[in-house]
Structure 1
Amino acid sequence: MKKKIVIKDSERLVADLSKAYRVVAKQTTIPVLTGFHLQFTGESLTITGSDTDNTIRITEEDNCTSSQSCAVVVPARIFLDTVRKLPACEIQLKMGENEISIAAGKSTFELKTMKADEYPSFSLDDTGVCVEIQAADLANGLRLEYACSVLAMRPTL
């Protein structure tokens, strides 16, 4: 039985996938880490990307509709490239046993998937401390000032 999911805004999905792709393992001994862990529950989608050292988990509310809760691991690069090239419209996903069908407009793609229960679970809150900060404030705080030296033997700070 195929599970059907509808993604309402493909541009938001591409933006979230691009953020999570930054930490997806490119070469690893654990093949499942080369993919995105996608978890659908009702009207929310959680995207997880990890390389065991760094993990990004993004939860998107009100961008999808799923008849039942389900999870899947899709190959990250192929899935991101496929969704990025689709027209900016509603995307329909149909998940089978070992594949996922992606349809938007007149385009339809099928990708092989991996089992979601093979994806390792990562605790994102090891310390018990959670800090929330506005993105603009974080970017402002991380702004770099550059220093340059004319001589390598006498650095100028």
Structure 2
Amino acid sequence: MKIFCSKDALLAGVNAVQKAISNKNTLPVLQGILVTAEAQFLHFSATDLEMGIRCQIPSTTVTEEGTMVVPAKLFSEIVRKLPDTTITLEEKDKSITICYNESEIVLNGYDPEEFPLLPDLMEPITFTLPTIIFKNMIRQTVFSCSTEENRPVFTGTLLQIEGTNIRLVATDTHRLALSIASISNSEESRFSGIIPSKTLTEIYRLLRDEDEELTISYGNNQVVFQFGSIYLISRLIEGQFPNYKQVIPQSCETKVILSVRKLLESVERALVLTRDKSGANIIKINVKNNELKIDQTSELGKISEQIVVEMEGKDVTIAFNAKFLIDALKVIDSDQILFELSGPFSPGVMRPLDNSNYIYLVLPIRTA
């Protein structure tokens, strides 16, 4: 294999697949990137056997087609330090030579025969949607996934397709985020699967504004996302996602309409004084007489915040994890929210005032 290309082309390929490279797997070849040269294109592939990414990079002169597996971490570091000039890559007997100007670097590679190929789904069900919609849905939900591996279903996001509705739902059992959008689904395809949060985070990172459409295919307990020059395949998490519809309250005792920005800024200021050894980040909220008050006292000092609101229903005092409120307020694009409360022991529900397609539920914290 022998090719001529730019430093930027190599960087683009490495950056696209780097998050799928295995750091823990016992197979040494999975710590590499498979590079394939054919028809004036370079194809980069990486996998940790849970997720795989393949991308195609143009603007390459291929003088000899072939494949090689480069050591990912070392190759990445070297490419970033190369000068902006034409780079020659040549592979022979698993030895990889990188030539630039009058210099060269030789790396020991892996056997391409040992690298697992990324599968194509057999008879998949496929649908498309605008990338900007799906990217926003990821942004509004994935932060609510759990990081505790002992309960796998909570480390992923439920993707559901029913008719023309697509939903993403994430929960770590302390909070829940639900985002809904409309898609064209002429074949009335149905799907329900739990996608690892790592997969969705990576899709969010790779999606670009110029990638207008995202194609999602599924089958064989796997899901594939294709956009631009990227092909990303991921396993689905096995297990039963909880019935989230039963968790969301259908009524409330107190309705509060208030500014997203004002609540976010107040909670962020109060958070500065809530940090203790337990890491609970507890703030107390009192809603009364069309005013929301946050009073916080700790060994660090005290703060008292008041926000004018529109309220309907009972007065209420309730405590929350401040960070859980901040996470949601940062991804709500509306100016105002409807905050629904039902006493100190029931979950609070946030809804953007001008968008019924997003719901964020957060459990209160019981305080003495």
- Classify the TM-score, shorter chain: 0.7 to 0.9
Q: 1:130 to 1:91 in 2, by over 3 A?
A: farther
| Residue type at the aligned position of 2:53 | I
Corresponding residue pairs, total: 153
2:2/2:65 contact within 8 Å kept: no
| Residue type at the aligned position of 2:30 | L
1:123 to 119, 126, 141: 119
Based on CA coordinates, which of the two structures has the bigger radius of gyration?
Answer: 2
* Alignment pair present for 1:36 and 2:33: yes
Aligned to 2:62: 66
Aligned to 2:52: 55
Alignment RMSD (CA, Å): 2.6
Q: 1:29 to 1:99 in 2, by over 3 A?
A: same
CA offset at residue 10 of structure 1? 1.6
In 1, Cα distance between equivalents of 2:85 and 2:137: 36
Q: 1:102 to 1:125 in 2, by over 3 A?
A: same
2:139 to 143, 150, 156: 143
The structure richer in strand per residue is 2
TM (norm. structure 2) is 0.38
Aligned to 2:88: 92
In 2, Cα distance between equivalents of 1:109 and 1:50: 25
| Residue type at the aligned position of 2:3 | I
When structure 1 is superposed on structure 2, of 117-126 and 107-116 the one drifting more is 117-126
Aligned to 1:76: 72
| Residue type at the aligned position of 1:41 | E
Percent same amino acid at aligned positions?
24
Q: 1:54 to 1:87 in 2, by over 3 A?
A: same
Give the 4+ runs in structure 1 shifted more than 6 A.
Answer: 145-149
When structure 1 is superposed on structure 2, of 26-35 and 87-96 the one drifting more is 87-96
Q: Deviations over 1:82-103 (max 9, x none)?
A: 1111122221112121211112
1:103/1:109 contact within 8 Å kept: yes
In 1, Cα distance between equivalents of 2:111 and 2:53: 19
| Residue type at the aligned position of 2:2 | K
Q: 1:132 to 1:31 in 2, by over 3 A?
A: farther
CA offset at residue 35 of structure 1? 0.2
2:45/2:54 contact within 8 Å kept: yes
Stretches of structure 1 that go unaligned for 5 or more consecutive residues are none
In 2, Cα distance between equivalents of 1:71 and 1:25: 19
Q: Deviations over 1:105-130 (max 9, x none)?
A: 34421100111111112214356134
In 1, Cα distance between equivalents of 2:57 and 2:15: 14
Q: 1:87 to 1:43 in 2, by over 3 A?
A: same
1:55/1:124 contact within 8 Å kept: no
Q: 1:71 to 1:141 in 2, by over 3 A?
A: same
In 1, Cα distance between equivalents of 2:128 and 2:102: 41
1:37/1:71 contact within 8 Å kept: yes
2:12/2:57 contact within 8 Å kept: no
SS of structure 2 residue aligned to 1:142: helix
SS of structure 2 residue aligned to 1:125: coil
Q: Deviations over 1:35-74 (max 9, x none)?
A: 001111130111000000100000123x211222200111
| Residue type at the aligned position of 2:24 | Q
* Alignment pair present for 1:111 and 2:107: yes
Task: Between the two structures, name the one with larger relative contact order (CA 8 Å, sep ≥ 6).
Answer: 1
In 2, Cα distance between equivalents of 1:78 and 1:130: 37
Stretches of structure 2 that go unaligned for 5 or more consecutive residues are 144-174, 176-266, 268-281, 284-318, 322-343, 349-360, 362-368
| Residue type at the aligned position of 2:85 | C
In 1, Cα distance between equivalents of 2:134 and 2:116: 29
Q: Deviations over 1:113-150 (max 9, x none)?
A: 11111111221435613455554443233222788873
| Residue type at the aligned position of 1:38 | V
Q: 1:5 to 1:140 in 2, by over 3 A?
A: same
When structure 1 is superposed on structure 2, of 118-127 and 20-29 the one drifting more is 118-127
In 2, Cα distance between equivalents of 1:12 and 1:134: 26
